[in-house]
Amino acid sequence: MMARQSGFALLIVLWTIGFLALLGTQLVAAGRSDTRLAENLKQEAVLRAAADGAVARVMFGMQAAHDPGFRAGAGERSIRIGGTPVLVRIEAESDRINLNTASLALLRALVIETGAPPAQADRLAAAILDWRTSGAKARPGGAKAPEYRAAGLPFGPPGTPFQSVEELADVLGMTPVLFERLAPHLTVLTDSDPDMTTRDPIVALALTDAAGVAEDALTARESAEDIVRISVTALGRDAARYSEEVVAAADFQTGTPRVNILLRQRVTRAANGTRIAGAF
């Protein structure tokens, strides 16, 4: 009897030791996971601060120091903010085509230059104009509310100007691949179309294709105020990175230079490589 009780007690002790060992392993694993999460959050904060610092550095370089390395079209360069390397690119927003002012012919030409066949370009350009203009009747090949309903979509064109380039993704006929190709050549932040001095080769080809069409007014925007798009990517450990874009209206030709932020957004990549931009 005593032997049975001793054996049972030993079994309880062994079971308790095993349970405590398992519990300890779980606690250690959870602690390591929490430590990694804290380190990742810390690194993201550092990278974001470096990206913000790079934007400020660019604006200072353009506004106060007149650094030739900080000018639109100068190409990508690397700078260091603290101990963090940051890739910087500056583009003139006026090199892009404005979704709200471009004509049918110019939009069609841009869609074709980004790889779509002419028939698809015809429909999409018409749908873009139908999206931004009022009225219930679709233009030939275009799309208003009935066409969106027929496609099974729970929304239709608002009949108002585009508020962002990302809104283009909702236009009937747009595909994720085509949007990815079009977005880098479009804007809603300028007040007219670009001209042939654009540094965007795709836009230049679209302008050439659309030239001579009567409804096109391909004139340059004449203003002392330049709108620039500043793209920065802060590089961290283990391939970590943080990217953002800032679009700013910068007047550097007056006695008191000034900068007005028009757009600030974080840029990420989905698993399939698709670019995702979100304002914050």
Classify the C-alpha dihedral 177-182-184-186 as positive or negative. negative
What are the strands of the beta sheet with 77-81, ordered from one edge? 77-81, 84-92, 226-235, 241-251, 258-269, 275-279
The pLDDT of residue 216: 41
Classify the C-alpha dihedral 17-23-26-28 as positive or negative. negative
Q: Give the mean pLDDT of 72-92.
A: 90
The pLDDT of residue 119: 96
The pLDDT of residue 219: 46
Instruction: State the pLDDT confidence band at 69, using cuts at 50, 70 and 90.
Output: confident
Q: Cβ of 122: how many Cβ atoms within 10 Å?
A: 18
| Per-residue pLDDT reduced to its tens digit, 147-159 | 999 999 999 999 9
Share of the chain above pLDDT 70, in %: 75
Higher pLDDT, 251 or 137: 137
Distance in angstroms (rounded) separating the CA atoms of residues 154 and 150: 10
Instruction: State the pLDDT confidence band at 1, using cuts at 50, 70 and 90.
Output: low
Q: Cβ of 212: how many Cβ atoms within 10 Å?
A: 9
- Tell me which H or E stretch contains 136: none
Q: Cβ of 107: how many Cβ atoms within 10 Å?
A: 23
Q: Give the mean pLDDT of 171-195.
A: 94
Query: Is pLDDT of 214 > 50?
Result: no
144 CA to centre of own chain? 27
Q: Give the mean pLDDT of 97-110.
A: 96
Q: Give the mean pLDDT of 1-16.
A: 61
| Per-residue pLDDT reduced to its tens digit, 187-207 | 999 988 898 899 999 999 999
Query: Is pLDDT of 227 > 60?
Result: yes
* CA atoms within 13 Å, Cβ hemisphere of 2: 0
Distance in angstroms (rounded) separating the CA atoms of residues 177 and 126: 19
Query: Is pLDDT of 46 > 70?
Result: yes
Instruction: State the pLDDT confidence band at 218, using cuts at 50, 70 and 90.
Output: very low
Distance in angstroms (rounded) separating the CA atoms of residues 123 and 117: 10
Tokens of 78: 């690397």
The pLDDT of residue 68: 75
Query: Is pLDDT of 224 > 50?
Result: no
Q: Cβ of 12: how many Cβ atoms within 10 Å?
A: 10
Cα–Cα distances (Å) from 98 to 58, 130, 190, 213, in that order, read 25, 15, 7, 18
DSSP string for residues in 82-124 = TTEEEEEEEEEGGGSEETTT--HHHHHHHHHHTT--HHHHHHH
Query: Is pLDDT of 103 > 50?
Result: yes
Query: Is pLDDT of 221 > 50?
Result: no
In terms of C-beta density within 10 A (0-12 exposed, 13-18 middle, 19 or more buried), how is residue 169 classed?
middle
* Mean per-residue pLDDT over the chain, rounded: 83
Distance in angstroms (rounded) separating the CA atoms of residues 232 and 51: 6
Distance in angstroms (rounded) separating the CA atoms of residues 232 and 45: 15
Share of the chain above pLDDT 90, in %: 51
The pLDDT of residue 268: 85
* CA atoms within 13 Å, Cβ hemisphere of 263: 23
Q: Give the mean pLDDT of 3-15.
A: 62
